[in-house]
Amino acid sequence: MKSSVRMLLLEDDQIEIMKFERVIQLVDASYHVQIAKNGEEALDYLQTCHPLPNLILLDLNMPKFSGIEFLKALKKHEKWYHIPCVVLTTSDNNVDLLECYREGIAGYFLKPLRYNEYVELIHMLLNYWNKSLTVK
């Protein structure tokens, strides 16, 4: 039996969270999205979740534990390093961009995104990784 794609969204802005959840409803309501408001919360979730998310989308600027700190911790963990990560951020700082790519991200997109851009982005990401996403 085929189940839904699972995504983990690291975002502390409630408006962005609501926008993303609406976009997922437009793309495919069967997709499961888990929200974490910072990197620490996301790592706690990953320790207990089963199955793991197919895709992680994250902001860089969050309280407690930044997106870059999260990426560094994620990539050190044998169970999680393979999960594709895409950054959605307001930071157009080249230092952030380079640091994220050094940590192995799959994409870097600047916010704010309009609804149609979010929809297109989610379709593009899932189509691109369709063969590598394990959906059982």
- Pairwise pLDDT comparison (8 vs 134), residue with the higher score: 8
- Taking residues 24-34, report their average pLDDT: 88
Q: Is the pLDDT of residue 29 over 90?
A: no
Q: Is the pLDDT of residue 1 over 50?
A: no
Q: Is the pLDDT of residue 32 over 80?
A: yes
pLDDT at 109: 94
Q: What share of the chain is helix, strand, coil (3-state, %, to 5)?
A: 40, 15, 40
pTM tops 0.75, yes or no: yes
Residue 53 near residue 27 (C-beta atoms within 8 A) = no
Q: Is the pLDDT of residue 116 over 60?
A: yes
Mean residue pLDDT of the chain comes to 89
**pLDDT category of residue 132 using cuts at 50, 70 and 90:** low
Q: What is the pLDDT of residues 60-82, one digit of tens each?
A: 999 888 899 999 999 999 999 99
Residues in Cβ contact with 11 at an 8 Å cutoff, skipping those fewer than 6 apart: 17, 20, 35, 36, 37, 57, 58, 59, 62, 88
Class of domain 6-128: alpha beta
Domain spans, the chain: 6-128
